[in-house]
């Protein structure tokens, strides 16, 4: 049963990581329902799976930044990472407690409100051609830091932040996904360090974890391409309505 539950979590991660509905929030919710104890560890491992999805889809952009470490795009990515890391370190104890699901419904509602305002902004500036600059990168990085809390969608929050800065919609979505690379990588390093420094034993099926990793990776590739198209064409208020529904469901189930 645990293996099936973990595969389902992998499917949920792959589908929700790049849609503006909070993958970590869904992992906490479903982890509680399926009685998966290692919610934070499983969440980080599955985020690494979708990190690889980003690396596959944006391999050209990543290779470009590696070859041009002082390019504007690379510098913007570094700038965006700094405020995220500072916020994460500052609120780390609260973040770990948040993975118990205490503030999940409220976080879902916060994301819903952000998406509604972002949609209004998108309607006001439908043809904006502004590109990512250092101010926008810092702003999106700050919002990404807040979105570390489960239930607040990282992609939803950062894309909304970019739209508020009147950034081109497609570039905004692409940069949002690239921003996830250093943060997920650093989260994995921190989690490995924490486990290595303690007598912490992981009570989780490794077979199920591997299968869920593969599922999250494959579904993640599909979801990235879908979300880039949706950012240009869809109305974000539909995601907002879904988040209101899932917030109510969270209150009922937890």
For the segment 83-128, what is each residue's pLDDT rounded down to a tens digit?
A: 999 998 888 877 777 777 778 999 999 999 999 988 887 777 665 6
Which tokens belong to 14?
């792959």
The pLDDT mean for the chain works out to 86
**What is the rounded distance in angstroms from the CA atom of residue 109 to the CA atom of residue 153?**
10
Measured distance CA(200)–CA(240) in Å, rounded? 38
Domain spans of the chain, in order of start: 2-253
What is the CA 212 to chain-centroid distance, rounded? 17
Place of tokens 């979590």: 9
Instruction: Phi first, then psi: give them for residue 108, nearest 5 degrees.
Output: -60, -40
Alpha-carbon distance of 106 to 110, in angstroms, equals 6
Supply the angle between the helices 104-124 and 23-33 in degrees, to the nearest 10. Answer: 150
Would you call 197 helix, strand, or coil by DSSP? Answer: coil
Residue at token pair 């979505």: 173
Over the stretch 20-49, which tens digit does the pLDDT of each residue have? 888 888 988 888 888 876 667 788 888 889
> Do 50 and 181 touch, CB atoms closer than 8 A?
no
| Cα distance between residue 208 and residue 6, in whole Å | 6
The residues near 74 (Cβ < 8 Å, ≥ 6 apart) are 65, 68
Tokens of 132: 């990512």
Q: How far is CA 134 from the centre of its chain?
A: 21
Taking the C-alpha atoms of residue 2 and residue 254, their distance in angstroms, rounded to an integer, is 19
pTM (2 d.p.): 0.86
- pLDDT value of residue 205: 80
């Amino acid at each position: 049963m645990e293996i099936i539950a973990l595969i389902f979590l992998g499917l949920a991660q792959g589908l929700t990581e790049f849609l503006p509905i909070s993958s970590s929030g869904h992992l906490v919710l479903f982890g509680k329902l399926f009685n998966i104890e290692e919610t934070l560890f499983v969440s980080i491992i599955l985020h690494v799976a979708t990190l690889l999805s980003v690396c596959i889809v944006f391999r050209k952009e990543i290779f470009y930044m590696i070859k041009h470490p002082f390019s504007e795009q690379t510098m913007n990515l570094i700038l965006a990472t700094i405020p995220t890391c500072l916020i994460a370190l500052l609120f780390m104890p609260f973040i770990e407690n948040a993975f118990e699901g205490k503030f999940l419904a409220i976080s879902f509602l916060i994301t819903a409100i952000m998406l509604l305002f972002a949609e209004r902004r998108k309607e006001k500036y439908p043809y904006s051609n502004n590109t990512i600059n250092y101010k926008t990168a810092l702003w999106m990085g700050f919002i990404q830091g807040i979105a570390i809390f489960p239930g607040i969608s990282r992609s939803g929050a950062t894309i909304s932040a970019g739209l508020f800065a009147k950034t081109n919609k497609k570039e905004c979505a692409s940069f949002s996904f690239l921003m996830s690379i250093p943060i997920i990588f650093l989260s994995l390093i921190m989690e490995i360090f924490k486990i290595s420094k303690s007598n912490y034993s992981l009570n989780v099926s490794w077979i199920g974890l591997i299968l869920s990793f593969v599922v999250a990776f494959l579904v993640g590739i599909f979801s990235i391409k879908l979300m880039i198209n949706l950012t240009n064409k869809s109305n974000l208020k539909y995601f907002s309505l879904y988040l209101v529904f899932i917030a109510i469901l969270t209150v009922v189930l937890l």
